[in-house]
Amino acid sequence: MLRRQPVRLALPAALVVLTPLCVLGDDVARAGAVALATAAAEIALATSPLRRVRAARIRTAHALLIAGMTMLLAHNVHTLLSLLRHDGAPDGMAYAATLVLGYLGLLVGGTVITVSGDDVGGHADNAIIAVVATSLAWTVIIQPVELAAGHSLAAQTYEAVLILLVGGMAGVGIRAWTTNANGRDPVGHLVVGVLAVLAGHLVAVLSDDPATGADSPWVDVCWVISYLALAAAFSHPRAVLMSAPQQRTPRLTRGRLAMLGLALLVLPVAIAATDLHSGSRRSVVLAVAAAVLAPLVLGRIATLASLHAAAERRLHTLATVDELTGLPNRRAISAHLTEILARCATADSPGVVVLFLDLDDFKLVNDGYGHATGDRLLVEVAQRLRSAVRSTDLVGRFGGDEFVVAMEGRPEATRDAALTTLSRALAAPVVLDDAEASAAASIGARLVRPGERVSAEQALSAADAAMYVVKRGHRSDVEVAGKPA
């Protein structure tokens, strides 16, 4: 980090030096300042901490970013060389292509780095809103100026593509900045750089002189700020954290659907309003059609989202809940017990008692009365166990006729109270049609004291072994596994 400190300090100094060149200098000085800032961003990318990341996704994104910045550097150096040769501002398809390809490389590379797998939907939502916002700005602010200046359709399309690309980049970056707490500093610099590009295009259009083709020197100030901000982002010591996991995408709620629907309606309505203002009615039908179709399409999406959410809930239930008793299953027991034991290991819990129960006469009931009757016995035992303990205690079915109870509290006192309570709950026989079945169980216990590090598997294994000691000895008391008090 200390080695990168001079680099980070040099960037504000470069801004202080290059800004007066843009504001006070001639066209060559302005182009030179932009080219130097672009070179700084290129160097920052080439030496970025991202180059040491071995993940294929990050390496690919880093290569795309370098390729995009190389295109932009070639574009800006070409501008400088043309001005030095007194050829004026360059033009042509190749020159224009370097700018588009450069932006495209930064967009794809930046998106791959900043978008995590769990939040693709959130980034997509932000990109949609940002593209709609920039499209609205184009329709209401920029296009009228372009038309008044007599720009060709090709020139207008080129400018629109650039602005939409930058708008998408801004949406993705803002989402990453709000969700990635660990990489917020470098992502913040990235967002500043993208917003500066957007501001530069806006100022360039609004300040363009149709007679001379000259624009405001503040356009070049925006470019300099943009490239230096990108350099700051990629040279930041925490640049690798731009790809850190982020919060999961929120569900597609009615509010989010309404927001997306509004975003879909804004542009056609704005176009229709602009046409009406100019005396044309060509886009009114388009706006009406969009207003009708958007709710229908979003309603269908909402239905599909609801079905998907219901399926997810069902799968979660099947994965974590025992279908017969409704208690947590083996997987859920292990996960919950892991959380409890983690608190105990750091002394954030007064202790944990893990009880492993195995019904004594379940095989006799199953063999004598059938599996349906055995299932009814298991359901009754589950209800008794759940009713006998606190709502914060874990009660689960481990499998077959085995149950697990986990309770937090001072180990010895909690164990004694639990044994009394559970023995009383299981003492009465269960009436099953014309027969009675015993609900008695052999119980093994594992006491875990504060500061003791035990895994869920170890605790369950020890309690299970203690339970078998009880069962083999045909005793009604409890064998305790673990350290002595």
Mark whether 207 and 236 lie in a shared domain. Answer: yes
In angstroms, the CA 110 to CA 113 distance is 5
Mark whether 361 and 258 lie in a shared domain. Answer: no
C-alpha triplet 183, 46, 23: angle, nearest 5°: 85
In angstroms, the CA 358 to CA 401 distance is 6
Residue 1 has pLDDT above 50, yes or no: no
Q: In a 3-state reduction of DSSP, which class is residue 15?
A: helix
- Picking from 263, 288, 320, the residue at the C-terminal end of a domain is 320
CB-neighbour burial class of residue 210 (10 A; exposed 0-12, middle 13-18, buried 19+): exposed
Mark whether 135 and 217 lie in a shared domain. Answer: yes
In angstroms, the CA 81 to CA 18 distance is 18
Mark whether 271 and 371 lie in a shared domain. Answer: no
- In the set 401, 433, 464, 477, the catalytic residue is 401
The pLDDT tens digits of the residues spanning 109-166 come to: 888 888 765 667 777 778 888 888 888 887 778 878 887 877 788 878 878 888 888 8
In angstroms, the CA 164 to CA 143 distance is 13
Mark whether 264 and 155 lie in a shared domain. Answer: no
* Residue 132 maps to a domain: yes
Average pLDDT of the chain is 82
One DSSP character per residue, 95-113 reads: HHHHHHHHHHHHHHHHHHH
Mark whether 181 and 282 lie in a shared domain. Answer: no
CATH of the domain at 356: 3.30.70.270
Q: In a 3-state reduction of DSSP, which class is residue 452?
A: coil
- Picking from 203, 233, 250, the residue at the C-terminal end of a domain is 250
401: annotated active-site residue = yes
* Residue 57 maps to a domain: yes
Range of the domain at 384: 330-481
The predicted model gives 321-325 an average pLDDT of: 91
Q: What is the pLDDT of residue 69?
A: 94
Amino acid letter at 380? E
Mark whether 133 and 123 lie in a shared domain. Answer: yes
Phi, psi of 451 (to 5 degrees): 90, -10
In angstroms, the CA 133 to CA 55 distance is 34
Number of separate domains in the chain: 3
Percentage of residues in the chain having pLDDT higher than 90: 35
The pLDDT tens digits of the residues spanning 68-119 come to: 999 999 999 999 999 888 777 777 788 888 988 998 898 888 888 887 656 6
The pLDDT tens digits of the residues spanning 293-314 come to: 666 666 666 676 677 777 777 7
Q: At which residue do the structure tokens 């588009």 appear?
A: 100
* Residue 325 maps to a domain: no
Percentage of residues in the chain having pLDDT higher than 70: 81
Mark whether 268 and 356 lie in a shared domain. Answer: no
Q: What is the pLDDT of residue 350?
A: 93
Sign of CA dihedral 330, 332, 336, 342: positive
Q: List the 441-448 sheet strands across, edge first.
A: 394-399, 402-408, 352-359, 441-448, 479-481
* Residue 23 maps to a domain: yes
Q: Which has more confidence, 258 or 236?
A: 236
Residue 356 has pLDDT above 70, yes or no: yes
Contact in structure between 394 and 328 (CB atoms under 8 Å)? yes
Q: What is the pLDDT of residue 483?
A: 47
Q: What is the pLDDT of residue 214?
A: 66
* Residue 306 maps to a domain: yes
Mark whether 245 and 283 lie in a shared domain. Answer: no
Residue 447 has pLDDT above 90, yes or no: yes
Mark whether 450 and 383 lie in a shared domain. Answer: yes
Mark whether 242 and 277 lie in a shared domain. Answer: no
Q: What is the pLDDT of residue 149?
A: 77
Q: What is the CA radius of gyration of the chain?
A: 34
Smallest Cα–Cα separation from 185: which of 273, 97, 244? 244
Q: H helices within 236-361, ranges in order?
A: 254-277, 284-320, 330-345
Mark whether 186 and 204 lie in a shared domain. Answer: yes
Contact in structure between 63 and 89 (CB atoms under 8 Å)? no
- Picking from 250, 274, 308, the residue at the C-terminal end of a domain is 250
